[in-house]
Chains A and B, each alone.
Chain A
Amino acid sequence: QKEVEQDPGPLSVPEGAIVSLNCTYSNSAFQYFMWYRQYSRKGPELLMYTYSSGNKEDGRFTAQVDKSSKYISLFIRDSQPSDSATYLCAMSWNSGGYQKVTFGTGTKLQVIP
Chain B
Amino acid sequence: SAVISQKPSRDICQRGTSLTIQCQVDSQVTMMFWYRQQPGQSLTLIATANQGSEATYESGFVIDKFPISRPNLTFSTLTVSNMSPEDSSIYLCSVPTGETQYFGPGTRLLVL
Binding site for B on A (CB under 8 A): 4, 6, 8, 31-32, 34, 36, 41-46, 49, 51, 88, 92, 98-106
Binding site for A on B (CB under 8 A): 1, 4, 6, 31, 40-43, 45, 92, 96, 98-106, 108
Shortest CB–CB separation between residue B44 and chain A, in angstroms?
8
Q: In the assembled complex, which residues on chain A have CB atoms less than 8 Å from the CB atom of B103? A: 36, 43-45
Q: How many A-B Cβ pairs are below 8 Å?
A: 53
> Interface SS of chain B: helix, strand, loop or mixed?
strand
Further contacts, 20 of them, CB under 8 A, given A41-B106, A43-B4, A46-B100: A4-B42, A42-B106, A43-B103, A43-B105, A43-B106, A44-B92, A46-B1, A46-B102, A49-B99, A49-B100, A51-B99, A88-B42, A88-B43, A99-B98, A99-B100, A99-B101, A100-B45, A102-B42, A103-B42, A104-B42
Contact B105 A98 (CB under 8 A): no
